Amino acid sequence: MASSAVVSFFTLLSAVGGVSAQQSCKVTPLDAAWPSNAEWAALNTTISGALIKTIPVASSCYSGNPFGSSEACEDVEKGWASSDFHAAFPESIDYPLYANNSCLPPGATGYSAAQGCELGGLPEYVVNGTTEEQVAAAMSWASKRNIRIVIKGTGHDLNGRSSGAYSLSIWTPNFNKLEFQPEWINPADNTTEVAMIVGAGNNWGSATRGAAKYDKVLVGGTVESVGTGGQIQGGGHGPLSSTFGLAADQILQARVVTTEGQILVANDAQNQDLLFAVRGGGGGQYGLVTEYVLKAHTPPGNVVSLSIALSTDKNDTAAKEATWRSFAVLLASIPDLMDAGLTGSALFSTDALTNASLAANVTHKVSGSLGFFAYNTTAEKMTSLLEPVRDRMLAAGGGNGSVSVTLGEPSVQPDFISLFESVNGASSAAGAYSLMTSRLLGRKHLSDIEQPTLVSYLKQVMQTQNPTGGGMMVIGLQGGSGPRNVPEKMRGAVNPVWRSTYIHMMSYGASIDTTNASPQEALDVAAKWLEETKEPIWREWAPGSGSYMNEANAFNSQFKEDFYGESYDRLLEVKRKYDPTESLFVLAGVGSDAWKYDLDSGKLCKTA
């Protein structure tokens, strides 16, 4: 990570600055206060041999295999684009850009032979714990020594929150308990709930299939490789959210290990402030959740799916403008469709252009499809709901054949687990560069504004940093009656904006180019463009709304309002109480504005 000049600088800083340098920054191997090999060995003995010295898995792709990876380079190259591959290794993460592209295999996005293989933004050590006591001892040990602590489940995090330079990482896959509790007793009032105990080391594949064995469903992610731990704490949406609410809304109890080495139970009877925080206040910030008690629900009877696709074969401006009007009609219809029981997801994109000099004056055409599905209904009912939408979209397009709006054939699946299996199977993708921005949108942002205004906002949020590039938008229909009807006592720290949200809209288009820049420099350029170009559009379109923190721009200057809303101040109190040494740091986390994490040097330092 650091050049010899940087190493020399930090060595000098440590020598002359002494304790003051250590107080303002988390300690690193360049500091005199960094534990000796003997001290690390003693920790390993204390936690029964659970400590791993980080070995970048792609080390085998470099001359001499500098770290001694046991994985053949050929296998690393084959697996690098797979989430399942990264989940299997203690240090590896899906988006290594956020680990400074530190040790990449040939062919990976961002690979440069000149960069070589080093730990860089990866942790120094990993605790592969099997007990809460091991984790508690390790976290307390690191906290007392001013060492940064990070938490990795599957490594799926889009903003690199499961890794960090010069850190001690806690890896959670062994906390994989799955236990059905048909009459879980709430200790606050002795009422009972149908529940599942779900270890935070499970992914949604194991958790969903585990619940299905008892003919129950859990509110969780669509993609099986996503871990339960961080996804739930960030709010957590999925195909059942519009019915039952967010994943965080299902937490009845959580077991949490703090950086002070406490093993706590948070529920309605004790540590209620910590329960509030893990119910949507963001993962990797207040402690390590080892297991949840989650509400388990009776599964839907069937699932009916039906899609609407929008496109045009014409390249004239009139046809392109027509597609935007049709697109706006579709989005304006969503609140009513969701209130009628529909949910789903969409992918829309704009075409790339060939002439940069004309890009500012050329209308892109938009195309894509929205896949709807609904539970406990019939194909006929679904079709009857969507045919009028199709007709309105065609009318908005001019009705002259310039716009194609296709209503697909409905398909029926017998149960929820069939739907889940149908969208999984192949490992989800990993390794690409991506920086998104997003917004939670309600009825007033979709149905209650004039069509030209909606079209204008859609065009603006689909623009790209590369003027000739094509834009992409992903839309999730995870709001509606589910989050809106969650009882107050279950809501926790989830941004209250979710209660009036219908769709979660994600927009891409930032360019991350590390050809002649470090990952930090490239991220800074892309983040600056988003802050100046797209974030203002969201704020104008949906003032006072927010973003889903697990799928959002971690460099958003207004992350406190957008990710946490009115919960932020209370969460800051919880953070200071349970992590008083501020050992847990994540981008756009609670209290993170007091720190600066520099990927170029790996240093995490106080800003004031």
What is the DSSP pairing of strand 125-128 with strand 148-152?
unpaired
Res 23: pLDDT: 52
Side chain identity, residue 245: G
Side chain identity, residue 542: A
CA distance 130 to 148: 21
CA distance 37 to 125: 12
| Same domain, residue pair 182 and 144 | no
Residues with Cβ within 8 Å of 354's Cβ and at least 6 positions away in sequence, in order, are 468
Q: Of 267, 295, 323, which one is at a domain's C-terminal end?
A: 295
Helix, strand, or coil (residue 291): strand
CA distance 491 to 487: 7
Domain that holds residue 46: 4-172+568-606
| Same domain, residue pair 165 and 229 | no
CA distance from start to end of the chain: 25
CA distance 289 to 291: 6
| Same domain, residue pair 102 and 11 | yes
Question: What DSSP character marks residue 25?
Answer: B
CA distance 564 to 234: 10
Give the H/E segment covering residue 292. Answer: strand 288-295
CA distance 59 to 45: 27
Dihedral sign, CA of 312, 314, 316, 318? negative
Q: Which residues are 304's β-sheet partners?
A: 374, 412
CA distance 254 to 448: 40
Please state the domain count of the chain. Answer: 3
Residue 102 and residue 122 in contact, taking contact as beta carbons nearer than 8 Å: yes
Which CATH number goes with the domain that contains 403?
A: 3.40.462.20
| Same domain, residue pair 485 and 422 | yes
Residue 296 and residue 180 in contact, taking contact as beta carbons nearer than 8 Å: yes
| Same domain, residue pair 74 and 10 | yes
Burial code of 41-80, b = ≥16 C-beta within 10 A, e = fewer? eebbeebeebbbebbbbbbbbbeeeebebebebeebbebb
Length of the chain: 608
Res 545: pLDDT: 98
Side chain identity, residue 484: R
Which CATH number goes with the domain that contains 237?
A: 3.30.465.10
| Same domain, residue pair 197 and 278 | yes
| Same domain, residue pair 71 and 214 | no
| Same domain, residue pair 507 and 559 | yes
Res 11: pLDDT: 36
What is the DSSP pairing of strand 342-350 with strand 303-311?
unpaired
CA distance 230 to 278: 9
Residues 116, 121, 127: CA angle, nearest 5 degrees: 115
Res 359: pLDDT: 59
| Same domain, residue pair 315 and 228 | no
| Same domain, residue pair 279 and 377 | no
CA distance 74 to 88: 16
Res 352: pLDDT: 84
| Same domain, residue pair 357 and 378 | yes
Per the structure block, which two tokens stand in for 134?
């091991």
Side chain identity, residue 69: S
| Same domain, residue pair 90 and 104 | yes
Residue whose tokens read 């938490």: 151
Regions of the chain short of the pLDDT cut 50: 1-22
DSSP letters for 386-455? HHHHHHHHHHHTTSSSSSEEEE---EEESSHHHHHHHT-SSPPB-------EEEEEEHHHHTSS-HHHHH
Q: Which residues are 125's β-sheet partners?
A: 53, 168
Residue 150 and residue 193 in contact, taking contact as beta carbons nearer than 8 Å: no
CA distance 598 to 290: 29
Helix, strand, or coil (residue 222): coil
Q: Of 259, 279, 295, which one is at a domain's C-terminal end?
A: 295
CA distance 21 to 477: 48
The crossing angle, in degrees rounded to 10, of helices 317-339 and 451-461 is 100
Q: Of 252, 271, 295, which one is at a domain's C-terminal end?
A: 295
Per the structure block, which two tokens stand in for 6?
């940087």
Q: Which residues are 203's β-sheet partners?
A: 227
- Determine phi and psi for 232, rounding to 5 degrees: -65, -45
Which CATH number goes with the domain that contains 10?
A: 3.30.43.10
Report pLDDT digits (tens) over 505-524: 999 999 999 999 999 999 99
